[in-house]
Amino acid sequence: MPITPLASRPHDHSHCVHSALTEADTLCAQKGLRLTALRRRVLELVWQSHKPLGAYDILAVLSEQDGRRAAPPTVYRALDFLLDNGLVHRISSLNAFVGCSHPEHPHQGQFLICRNCHAAIELEQKTISDAIIQSARDVGFTVEGQTVEVVGLCSGCREA
């Protein structure tokens, strides 16, 4: 019987947030990068659930909850930093961002996205990435990046 991914189970997100922030602090320190207060807060907001969050959603929370008057370019720069350093992934079909479950090593994003509750479950299947790269190579194409987005129903929504 397959194990239900954490994103599809009820759980305490504060543990996810704490782990993500701790790992981000460690990785940035190792790379000599500055995880500014704003970058850290944006990462924290992205990890508040396993549902992708748009830049304007982040901006609204910063304004409403934090009283920050951040402009959209500021949030996009923070997201670009987090993307460039493997701390978040961009879900193109939703124009939104989700925390990376494995920021300690570079990898391609593969996601199962629930069309009902919008949870995004990150997969890390090297065979999928390898198959895409090999298929591209077979037709003379060089892959520079890939994100696989599969839409369906998570186990919780399917059972409901």
Which residues form the domain of 24? 11-101
**Residue 88 belongs to a domain:** yes
pLDDT tens readout for residues 115-152: 999 889 998 888 999 999 999 999 999 998 888 999 99
Beta-strand relationship, 109-114 and 147-152: parallel
How many other C-beta atoms can be found within 10 angstroms of the C-beta atom of residue 124? Answer: 14
Residue type, 58: I
Q: Read off the pLDDT band of 2 (50, 70, 90).
A: very low
Question: Which one of 101, 124, 145 terminates a domain?
Answer: 101
34-57 b/e with 16+ CB inside 10 Å = b? ebeebbbbbbbbbbebbbbbebeb
Alpha-carbon radius of gyration of the chain: 16
Say how many domains are in the chain: 2
Are 23 and 92 in a shared domain? yes
DSSP code of residue 107: -
Q: Above pLDDT 70, what percent of the chain?
A: 92
Containing 30, the helix (H) or strand (E) segment is helix 13-31
Domain at 59, CATH number: 1.10.10.10
CA atoms of 101 and 124, how far apart (whole Å):
9
pTM: 0.83
pLDDT digits (tens, 9 = 90+) for 88-125: 999 999 999 999 988 888 778 899 999 999 889 998 88
Same domain assignment for residues 85 and 148 = no
Distance (Å) of CA 102 to CA 57, 58, 84, 147:
24, 22, 14, 15
